Amino acid sequence: MTPRRRRLVLVLGIVAGVAIAGALALQAFRENVMFFFDPTQIANGEAPSGERFRLGGMVEKGSVVRQPGSLDVQFVVTDFQRTVPVRYRGVLPDLFREGQGVVAHGRLGPDGVFTADEVLAKHDENYMPPEVHRSLKTPAAAPTPAPEG
Amino acid sequence: MLPELGQFALILALLLAALQAFFGLAAPALGRDRWLAAVMPATAGQAVMVGTAFACLVASFVRFDFSVAYVAENSNSALPLAYRVAAVWGAHEGSLLLWITLLAVWTVAVAFGVARLPARFGARVLGVLGLVSFGFILFTLATSNPFLRLDPPVPDGRDLNPLLQDPALALHPPLLYTGYVGFAVAFAFAIAAMLEGRLDQTWAKWTRPWTLAAWAFLTCGIALGSWWAYYELGWGGYWFWDPVENASFMPWLIGTALIHSLAVTDKRGLFKSWTLLLAIIAFSLSLLGTFLVRSGVLVSVHSFAADPARGVFILAFLVIMIGGALSLYAWRAPLLRSNAGFEFASRESFLLFNNILLVIAAATVFGGTLAPLISDTLGLGTLSVGPQYFNPTFLLPMLPLIALVAIGMHANWKRGRLGERGRPVIVAGLMALAIAIALVFGYYAGRPGLALVSFALGAWLVLSSLFDPLDRLRRGLSMPRAIIGMTLAHVAVGVFVIAVTAVETYTVEQDIAMARGETAHVGGFDFRFDGVDAIDGPNYDGVHGVVQVTRDGTPVVTMHPEKRRYLVQQSVMTEAAIASQAGRDLFVALGEDLGAGRWSLRIQIRPLINYVWLAAALMALGGAIAASDRRYRHARAAAAVPANAGQGSTA
């Protein structure tokens, strides 16, 4: 091959490789990306049934119910307009508390109960996931940061 | 007094950085050689002033000066001395000052280094670094001043975030930043070369050790962060594809490509404009990382602040720096033409494909990291991208890359024939396949597929890397540090691949509710839960569980997973207990009191996980050894080096 031909083959190879990688990445992206919904959107039927998505909001005060001695726990996520009951089996994160922000990954069942396979809580007391913060539409109901201790 | 002194020093540093940038860039551009003399004093002065400011902040922390807002936010009278120092970079303002300080340290090192280089080139390098310093100091003073006073002062501070009260995390930011900031040096060298309009192999020789050093620090920093996440977050994971992890990983990938591309530019005078582009991208991604972390636009463990003014400032800085650099590149790069050729299976080709694959990998990470941001901004819905996306798209370019490294190391420069060097590559490949089969079907019993492929590739890389140095030893040839470093780093990559494969394929984990005296059987071990005891720490209280581990009736270890409550912030923290064995880690985290006398526990057995970080440490060590090679130290200002000089077999 002449150097010119060789360079052409090389460039074509690179372009093809990048194109294939791009297509595969896009495919993986489309299949695996998770959308975020708040309880109001779920009540409006915007959330897909049977697909994994992220549910976010506040853990309603007094809603955490645990079967004594078992890993099964239920709680209610609220955006102060609508609520969604959540079922989870496993160890909850340290920062999971009633009245605090939470993001759960899982699926919405036909009974309207969200079965979570992963629960994430925010990482410090003044920090709320921005998506949760935005979905809390009533400013008055949004909790103020804890007073300086 | 001290905070005011610190702030004053920082303002002086800003002015001196401006002078450093002005004289460094204007003197060569306008041909005023007498101005060159001003660059060094300005640089030295800037470094001293930044050092003073940093020392003032450290002193304020050490002396419990709670009249300083930043100290009051991030320290407490019960906080031990070591963490009071580490608290300096525990939040946004201080970590920026750390960034600036480390940039000053690099700048001083570069100033010593460029003293031997042509005066105009050295001045330009320092000028670019001065420009970067100026931007960051201005940012700190304008939006994130750590020296602001509280009026009235508070009696006691709010304490450092308990997650950060840990030795590994105290060291993680300085190492990571040293790496990030180190790419500023390669960037400055690239800009200086473009301003000169001249780039020869000597340039690559000057740039290589700096880039290697930065890369080694970045490797250490990332590994330390990952190790910390593993034992401190209580989840037992070591990589979450968290946006901020990605932000540090993208410069690493591009930096890795840059190291190898520099090797080609150094040895053969090829890939010049590509090398420049990588140098610009590596630093741009470091800046982007800062933007992502500091502006709070992404949801992450690391997002400190959500102040829009900061985001806008960094974005503007980013646009000016990157936009300016790329414009300069578009204008100047066509001047830098290479005239040498190479054959298809030569080492140049292998390194070219290595670069392409690394850039593709970085691009997929980039896409996944920024997609949520873009989708959100365009109103397409709030989405998140997790490991389900990153794992496959990252593996796709990486697995062929490992094979390319295993073969490419034995390829010749310029010539496209493996020849007699082909045989050991094949032998190593067959041995690796045997090892992989033994591991999958013998030791770990099952689950072949990807594990078989990855084990084989990893083992192939290890064996193949060792061949050349062993051959050199046998024949009594000299062993330059560049080769030792390269071998070490490549062996480490192989070990890393094997370790990650084992962890990802053969981890056993279980969340379980246990009463006192109950035993859980996990992965061949018996975990007996013997209840919890109260504990009392300096600034926390809590409980620790007692878990007796036995295997076939033989006691193995007693583990004490803790649940701590930090008193000042009233935050609860899980301190997982980890027992490391040669082939695996036993991991027990204490969940919560479930009532009815039972606790939730998370039990994991993770094979070879320690070798993930060991491999990262070896990679960094390899980089450091290679950076100290003699041929860089003697790389003097020889203006023209013949295109074919210095052709060894190092890369």
Question: Rounded to whole angstroms, how far apart are CA atoms B173 and B89?
Answer: 7
Residue-wise pLDDT tens digits, A28-68: 787 778 888 889 989 998 888 788 888 888 899 999 998 88
pLDDT of residue A122: 62
Region A88-108: what's the mean pLDDT? 87
The interface predicted TM-score of the complex, written ipTM, equals 0.76
**Contacts with A17 from chain B: Cβ below 8 Å:** 356, 360
- Note whether A21 contacts B397, CB cutoff 8 Å: yes
C-alpha separations of B183 from A53, B26, B107, B248 in Å: 38, 23, 12, 12
How does DSSP assign B129-181, residue by residue?
HHHHHHHHHHHHHHH--TTPBPSSPPSS-----GGG-SHHHHHHHHHHHHHHH
pLDDT of residue B131: 96
Kindly identify which residue of chain B lies nearest to residue A56, measuring between CA atoms. B382
- Note whether A70 contacts B574, CB cutoff 8 Å: no
**Contacts with B345 from chain A: Cβ below 8 Å:** none
- Please choose, from the candidates B510, B492, B396, B407, the residue with its C-alpha nearest in 3D space to the C-alpha of residue B450: B396
pLDDT of residue A33: 81
Which residues of B, range 515-534, sit inside 8 Å of A by Cβ?
515
pLDDT of residue B145: 93
Give Cα B625 distance to the centre of its chain.
Answer: 17
pLDDT of residue B295: 59
pLDDT of residue B335: 81
CA atoms within 13 A on the CB side of B591: 25
Q: Are B305 and B316 in contact (CB under 8 A)?
A: no
- Note whether B383 contacts A28, CB cutoff 8 Å: no
Residue-wise pLDDT tens digits, B284-319: 999 888 777 765 555 444 444 456 677 778 778 888
- Tell me the shortest Cα–Cα distance from A81 to chain B, in angstroms: 19
CB pairs under 8 A between A and B: 120
Report the residue of B74, B297, B299, B356 to disrupt the A interface, i.e. the one with the largest count of A CBs within 10 Å: B299
**Contacts with B367 from chain A: Cβ below 8 Å:** 25, 29
Tokens coding B125: 């390098």
Question: Rounded to whole angstroms, how far apart are CA atoms B645 and A134?
Answer: 62
pLDDT of residue B293: 72
Tell me, yes or no, if B261 comes closer than 8 A to chain A by beta carbon. no
Side chain identity, residue A86: V
- Note whether A94 contacts B572, CB cutoff 8 Å: yes
Cis amide linkage into residue A48, ω under 30° from 0: no
C-alpha separations of A29 from A33, A54, B242, B358, B596 in Å: 6, 16, 16, 19, 44
Sign of CA dihedral B217, B279, B140, B568: negative
- Tell me the shortest Cα–Cα distance from B632 to chain A, in angstroms: 32
pLDDT of residue B345: 78
Contacts of residue B454, defined as CB under 8 A and 6 or more positions apart, other chains included, come to B399, B497, B498, B500, B501
Contacts of residue B291, defined as CB under 8 A and 6 or more positions apart, other chains included, come to B297, B311, B314, B315, B318
State whether residue B245 is helix, strand or coil: helix
Minimal Cβ distance to B368: which of A29, A36, A93: A29
Tokens coding B315: 């974005």
- Note whether B382 contacts A91, CB cutoff 8 Å: no
Question: Rounded to whole angstroms, how far apart are CA atoms B212 and B205?
Answer: 11
Q: What per-residue string of b and e applies to B204-224 under the rule 16 or more CB within 10 Å gives b?
A: bbbbbbbbbbbbbbbbbbbbb
- Note whether B598 contacts A24, CB cutoff 8 Å: no
Q: Which long-range contacts (CB under 8 A, 24 or more apart) does B327-331 make?
A: B328/B191, B328/B194, B328/B195, B329/B194, B329/B273, B329/B276, B329/B277, B329/B280, B331/B194
**Contacts with B90 from chain A: Cβ below 8 Å:** none
Minimal Cβ distance to B389: which of A29, A123, A129: A29
Q: Are B128 and B191 in contact (CB under 8 A)?
A: yes
pLDDT of residue A141: 38
Q: Taking an 8 Å Cβ-Cβ cutoff, which residues of chain A contact chain B? A: 1, 3, 6, 10, 14, 17-18, 21, 24-25, 28-29, 31-36, 54, 66, 68-71, 89-95, 123-125, 127, 129-131, 148-149
**Contacts with B602 from chain A: Cβ below 8 Å:** 91
Helical pair B387-408 and B422-437, crossing angle rounded to 10 deg:
140
Q: Are B115 and B134 in contact (CB under 8 A)?
A: no
- Note whether A32 contacts B602, CB cutoff 8 Å: no
Which DSSP state fits B419?
A: G
- Please choose, from the candidates B162, B200, B148, B256, the residue with its C-alpha nearest in 3D space to the C-alpha of residue B623: B256
Tell me, yes or no, if B385 comes closer than 8 A to chain A by beta carbon. yes
Kindly identify which residue of chain A lies nearest to residue B382, measuring between CA atoms. A36
Question: Rounded to whole angstroms, how far apart are CA atoms B195 and B124?
Answer: 8
- Tell me the shortest Cα–Cα distance from B202 to chain A, in angstroms: 26
- Note whether B513 contacts A71, CB cutoff 8 Å: yes
Q: Is B547 left (phi over 0), alpha (psi -120 to 50) or beta?
A: beta
pLDDT of residue B158: 85
CA atoms within 13 A on the CB side of B357: 19
Tell me, yes or no, if B373 comes closer than 8 A to chain A by beta carbon. no
- Tell me the shortest Cα–Cα distance from B344 to chain A, in angstroms: 8
**Contacts with B344 from chain A: Cβ below 8 Å:** 1, 6, 10
**Contacts with A54 from chain B: Cβ below 8 Å:** 384
Question: E strand or H helix at B413, and its extent?
Answer: none
Pairing of strands A53-59, A34-37: parallel
Contacts of residue B534, defined as CB under 8 A and 6 or more positions apart, other chains included, come to B541, B542, B543
C-alpha separations of B608 from B238, B395, B502, B605 in Å: 12, 19, 6, 10
Q: Are B480 and B629 in contact (CB under 8 A)?
A: yes
Q: What per-residue string of b and e applies to B443-457 under the rule 16 or more CB within 10 Å gives b?
A: ebeeeeeebbbbbbb
CB neighbourhood size of B306 (10 A): 15
Report the residue of B337, B600, B603, B604 to disrupt the A interface, i.e. the one with the largest count of A CBs within 10 Å: B600
Report the residue of B359, B592, B601, B602 to disrupt the A interface, i.e. the one with the largest count of A CBs within 10 Å: B592
Kindly identify which residue of chain A lies nearest to residue B387, measuring between CA atoms. A32
Q: Are A91 and A117 in contact (CB under 8 A)?
A: no
Phi and psi at residue B373, to the nearest 5°:
-65, -45
Minimal Cβ distance to B383: which of A3, A18, A34: A34
**pTM more than 0.80:** yes
- Note whether A32 contacts B385, CB cutoff 8 Å: yes
Give Cα A94 distance to the centre of its chain.
Answer: 18
Report the residue of B156, B366, B370, B383 to disrupt the A interface, i.e. the one with the largest count of A CBs within 10 Å: B383
Q: Is B269 left (phi over 0), alpha (psi -120 to 50) or beta?
A: left
Minimal Cβ distance to A36: which of B383, B389, B598: B383
Question: Rounded to whole angstroms, how far apart are CA atoms B77 and A39?
Answer: 43
**Could you identify the residue written with the tokens 């591309």?**
B261
What domains can be seen in chain B, in order of their start residue? 1-165 (no CATH), 405-498 (no CATH), 508-609 (2.60.98)
Minimal Cβ distance to A33: which of B296, B389, B512: B389
- Note whether A14 contacts B364, CB cutoff 8 Å: no
Helical pair B450-474 and B481-506, crossing angle rounded to 10 deg:
160
On the 0-12 / 13-18 / 19+ scale of CB atoms within 10 A, B161 is: buried
**Contacts with B163 from chain A: Cβ below 8 Å:** 123
- Note whether A32 contacts B356, CB cutoff 8 Å: no
CB neighbourhood size of A59 (10 A): 23
pLDDT beneath 70: ranges in chain B: 234, 294-308, 339, 419, 634-651
Question: Rounded to whole angstroms, how far apart are CA atoms B390 and B371?
Answer: 12
Minimal Cβ distance to B596: which of A6, A28, A68: A68
Tokens coding B636: 């003097």
Q: How far apart are the first and last CA of chain B?
A: 53
Side chain identity, residue A134: R
Question: Rounded to whole angstroms, how far apart are CA atoms B362 and B402?
Answer: 16
Kindly identify which residue of chain A lies nearest to residue B391, measuring between CA atoms. A28
Phi and psi at residue A47, to the nearest 5°:
-80, 140
**For chain B, how many helices (H) and strands (E)?**
18, 11
pLDDT of residue A6: 72
On the 0-12 / 13-18 / 19+ scale of CB atoms within 10 A, A101 is: buried
Give Cα B173 distance to the centre of its chain.
Answer: 10
Kindly identify which residue of chain B lies nearest to residue A2, measuring between CA atoms. B343
Tell me, yes or no, if B598 comes closer than 8 A to chain A by beta carbon. yes
Question: Rounded to whole angstroms, how far apart are CA atoms A76 and A62?
Answer: 9
- Note whether A24 contacts B161, CB cutoff 8 Å: no
pLDDT of residue B70: 93
Q: Are B535 and B558 in contact (CB under 8 A)?
A: no
Question: Rounded to whole angstroms, how far apart are CA atoms B418 and B405?
Answer: 14
